[in-house]
Structure 1
Amino acid sequence: MLTYPENYFRRRFRMSKPLFMHIVDRLSSEVDFFRQKKDGLGRLGLSALQLCTAAISVLAYGTAADTVDEYLRLGETTTRSCVENFVEGIIYLFRDEYLRRPTPADLQRLLDVGEYRGFLGMIGSIDCVHWEWKNCPTAWKGQYSRGSGKPTIVL
């Protein structure tokens, strides 16, 4: 899992490798579910890396819980527990820093990033407009179509 180069890692997990490792380290040291334990025979159980990878994979792609079973050797119910505990752990650990109202400095940083990317004054402008997806893959057309019958994406 950590053998991916940075660009593949970001594409696969939707975050940088250092951020991923920071999350794994915090969860494994502060949330009991993510601490590696020994079973009755003294064998090590699942690592924090496996548990976090399962949760982030499911969350990043919106896939079913049983999609990581072969890759990470986790069952569906264990993966569901990973996702639930991951979300609760993230809220517990990072709520004060990231799940709060933005400060003026935060807003200015977001405005600067938006301006750099060509979106001037984008704070408060999100209105969930559906734009027609001209090159939507045929297999996905039904998932992205609404009353008009044409596939759209929300921007």
Structure 2
Amino acid sequence: MSNWSSDQEVDEIVEEEVDSIVEEIQYNYTHPKIPPAPIIRRVHINRDRKEGHTRLWNDYFSDNPTYTNTMFRRRFRMNKPLFIRIVTTIENGFPYFRQRRDATGRLGLSALQKCPSAIHMIAYRCSADAVDEYL
């Protein structure tokens, strides 16, 4: 009638299955699953970094700049060739001042944008928020 050799074997199999289910329930009760932390995405604010570089270039460094050399000297407290030499030296010497892409692939600030801000912050002991004209 039955493929089972005895009721005792059936009882043992059922008992083992019940034990494994009870162990699993006990484990899940003592080790609750912690849900993963939600991913909080930051809102991207387009600050037009490229446009800032273009404005800075057109205002002071293009072939026909908006502002004269006198205005450049008044604003940056040095003449243009000295400033260009400082920017070039800093850009070649420190990787931070090189323009590179961020994790999302967008271009960062150029050396022409970073150097005036750094020089201004050092010279006048002010915060980065105070020097974001072309940033």
Tell me the TM-score range normalised by the shorter chain.
Answer: 0.3 to 0.5
TM-score of the pair, normalised by structure 2: 0.47
TM-score of the pair, normalised by structure 1: 0.41
Higher relative contact order (CA 8 A, sep 6+): 2
